[in-house]
Amino acid sequence: MTDRLRTDGLSVRYGGNLALDSVDLRIGEGELVGLIGPNGAGKTTYIDAVTGFTKSTGQVWVDEEELTSSKPHQRVNRGLGRTWQGAELYADLTVRENLEVGGGSHSLFSLLREVVTGRQSPPRAVDDVSDLLGITDILDRQPEDLSQGQRKSVDVGRALAAGSRVLCLDEPAAGLDSAESQQLGATLRQVVADGTSLLLVDHDMGLVLSVCDRIYVLDLGRVIAEGTPDEIRNSPAVIEAYLGADDTATVGGPDTNVEGAER
Ligand SMILES: Nc1ncnc2c1ncn2[C@@H]1O[C@H](COP(=O)(O)OP(=O)(O)OP(=O)(O)O)[C@@H](O)[C@H]1O
């Protein structure tokens, strides 16, 4: 399988704190990959480093092109997108306008701009994105009239409208109840089936374990495990990182509550 996104030895140091320690991670075409770990493990730092929002060492590759020294907007132009923890929609704009801000217009001017800027991942039409996410019937509504789950779908939609082909999602299920979280999971699977690759960072273990193809686990900036949801659920290293040594438990099992786990 071709790698959509790959990092080799990605590290971030904040003063004396090695927040990310040589992380090797890959996401294939059409793959939904989870990145989990206790609070402070380095998940957001990883997304910041991959998308160019914080200084890092190591290498970042998108579709076999090295983007290690590229600026954030150049990475966006190559189809590498992200969402932000706790991001809000533009309150005074309709859902359609929020999606258009992502870049989904197809004018002659936008085509010329793509030629001039060397953009390789053009924006997608708002109607395509809203069809894919099942939000066509709310395009004329204001954000204040939406459920929390609908807002999260629109947030993902903004990044897709901007032309993301590999998209890093930072805690998209935060604040959702379990029904909304399940709905979000189904939406993410549709996005992946449509050809976009996703990195999902979230504390909702039910969501991550049920929708991801593979999962990486970070602890203190290092990858301590990688595997299928079943492998991660039963990994002694992961159980210890979340719960302390207790090899009778499983991550995400009925007796464990790992959401927002603190070290
Ligand atoms: N801008 C920053 N400056 C200095 N230290 C930072 C900065 N951002 C994060 N850190 C530190 O880097 C480490 C990793 O933090 P990060 O936010 O990436 O963890 P996380 O896994 O996303 O946590 P959470 O699940 O709580 O969001 C922590 O020790 C944190 O205090």
255 lies in some domain: no
144 lies in some domain: yes
Distance, in Å, from the CA atom of 155 to the CA atom of 82, rounded to the nearest integer, reads 10
Contact at 8 Å (CB) between 201 and 168? yes
Check pocket membership of 223 for ligand 1, CB cut-off 6 A: no
Q: Which amino acid is located at 63 in the chain?
A: D
Average pLDDT over residues 30-51: 96
228 lies in some domain: yes
Contact at 8 Å (CB) between 238 and 262? no
pTM: 0.89
Residue 201 has pLDDT above 70, yes or no: yes
Check pocket membership of 103 for ligand 1, CB cut-off 6 A: no
Check pocket membership of 19 for ligand 1, CB cut-off 6 A: yes
Count of domains forming the chain: 1
CATH code of residue 151: 3.40.50.300
* Domain enclosing residue 175, as ranges: 3-243
For atom 1 of ligand 1, the residue with the nearest CA is 14
Q: How far is the CA of 71 from the centre of ligand 1 (A)?
A: 21
CB within 8 Å of 219: residues ≥ 6 apart: 37, 38, 41, 241, 263
Residue 216 has pLDDT above 70, yes or no: yes
Residue-level pLDDT at 101: 86
Instruction: List pLDDT tens digits, range 238-261.
Output: 888 876 644 445 566 544 434 445
When pLDDT is cut at 50, 70 and 90, the band that residue 33 belongs to is: very high
252 lies in some domain: no
261 lies in some domain: no
Nearest of 186, 199, 157 to residue 4 by alpha carbon: 199
Instruction: List pLDDT tens digits, range 88-134.
Output: 899 999 999 999 987 655 555 555 555 565 556 677 889 999 999 99
